[in-house]
Structure 1
């Protein structure tokens, strides 16, 4: 099982984290600090697997980012290396040649992708096409929600402008000034 995922820049800045095991905030900070020091100081020709606190850390450098995943001692390192590569390929396809700035400004989309690939620290979806389709559907939902929110905002703005134009007096409905609200009265027998 994958314990956590870290994306760290060459400068040691964290670009993305996902925790699948319970860690306190203090422990998370300590883990990030320790692993940043260990991974960033390793030579480029050294192995991509590191023994750490009774677990294994699998990492791979792509451009200026290190993609790191911490796994249990008995998990397959090569499988996790492929999961990292799979994640990077999907990000690359989604963003069109992904770079660090894409992850900084669109981190929520990177989380969408990661959440479609991994669930509870286990590989959920290995098909790039399926992940791409699901992410496109998510983007479509977000766009629809934005359009609906902007149309509601426009309706509110128009109502506010009408109220301002009438100088705070009662609004006009069907060409007549509305002075008070009239609700139909029902007798108890009708209800």
Structure 2
């Protein structure tokens, strides 16, 4: 369903449920996982191994959708990382591609041209950003500005906590001299 507002077309999206998010390097290393459906650790390991094998061996000119175990896996490669999301068979693949792109744009904005090393050394930030976008496998926030504002507020809280911890450590050190 499209509504026209000036020069912008707005798409009202149906609810979709993302079962999990995987970020996999070209070498098959898992850089981030987020599970929104219940999987045992053994099942998670098997899923990662299966999907890594399927996605990493696909040619670059093939489509970014893979049917897998009655689901669809939507993926997109950015630099050396594959961003993958698993959805139900009847969900909209293009919407998921937009969510992936949206996540990458926010990561780029936060890290200033995000790379694999940013995600390795700042994985907690990548998870926090993902949690601002998706809650329980559903899109929570579509505004990049709002997400950026929330991340800045979180960074500010962390800095304040570090400063307080440092000042308390200094007080204790001086008291024990």
Secondary structure (helix, strand or coil) at the match of 2:22 reads strand
Using the TM superposition, give the Cα deviation of residue 158 of structure 1 relative to its aligned residue in structure 2, in angstroms.
1.0
Aligned Cα root-mean-square deviation (Å): 0.4
CA offsets, 1:51-102, max 9 Å, x none? 0000000000000000000001111000000000000000000000000000
Equivalent position of 2:81 in the other structure: 65
Using the TM superposition, give the Cα deviation of residue 29 of structure 1 relative to its aligned residue in structure 2, in angstroms.
0.4
Runs of 4+ in 1 over 3 A off after TM superposition: none
Secondary structure (helix, strand or coil) at the match of 1:50 reads strand
Distance 2:44 2:172 in 1: 44
Using the TM superposition, give the Cα deviation of residue 43 of structure 1 relative to its aligned residue in structure 2, in angstroms.
0.2
Distance 2:122 2:104 in 1: 15
Secondary structure (helix, strand or coil) at the match of 2:153 reads helix
Secondary structure (helix, strand or coil) at the match of 1:126 reads coil
Distance 2:90 2:137 in 1: 14
TM-score (norm 1): 0.82
Distance 2:31 2:129 in 1: 15
CA offsets, 1:108-136, max 9 Å, x none? 00011000000000000000000000000
- The question of 1:115 aligning with 2:146 is answered no
Equivalent position of 2:155 in the other structure: 139
Secondary structure (helix, strand or coil) at the match of 1:44 reads coil
Equivalent position of 2:103 in the other structure: 87
TM-score (norm 2): 0.89
CA offsets, 1:146-186, max 9 Å, x none? 00111111111111xxxxxxxxxxxxxxxxxxxxxxxxxxx
Q: Which protein has the bigger strand share?
A: 2
